[in-house]
Amino acid sequence: MLIRRETPADVDAIRAVHAAAFAKDDGDGVPVEATLVDALRADDGWLPAYSLVAVDSDGQVVGHVVATRGQVGGEPVGLGLGPLGVLPDWQRRGVGSALMHAVLGAADARDEPLVVLLGHPDYYPRFGFGPAVDLGVTPPQPWGPQYFMARPMAAWRDSIRGEFRYARPFDDL
């Protein structure tokens, strides 16, 4: 498996990854994650360096993660991570972890101070995430603090405090 930045040729495969990864058990409808990435690409918050794919030895896209520009207290000092999706046949094989490590490494290398996400409290702490409120960063909606998590990066400053705002397409969810 290789992790690399997405290319224009990956767009349809990325949509398919998220459609399969987030498919409802009843098979009804297209999951919002499958169209969210397309909306994020068209937004000012899109940062191509943080849209990464995992590809197998044949070059097939088997996973995708994206982080987009967010704001804390009105300042562009954070990234909103997600969605992160892996094809069902590739889940529980380390693809999601590899994508997480790659996107966090990219964020740290580019001096991003903070990465936030909405996710499962049993999964994301292994990547250094904890309740965002512990850092003084509050969610844009009344999500429980155990689900709205943040990871301070090397460029973190204690002065970063306030409400987090995701890229605009998240407002439409």
pLDDT, residue 173, reads 78
pLDDT > 90 fraction of the chain, expressed in percent and rounded = 88
One DSSP character per residue, 65-100 reads EEEEEEEETTEEEEEEEEEEEE-GGGTTTTHHHHHH
pLDDT, residue 24, reads 82
pLDDT class for 27, splitting at 50, 70, 90?
A: low
pLDDT > 70 fraction of the chain, expressed in percent and rounded = 98
Residue type, 103: V
Encode pLDDT of 115-165 as tens digits. 999 999 999 999 999 999 999 999 988 788 889 999 999 999 999 999 999
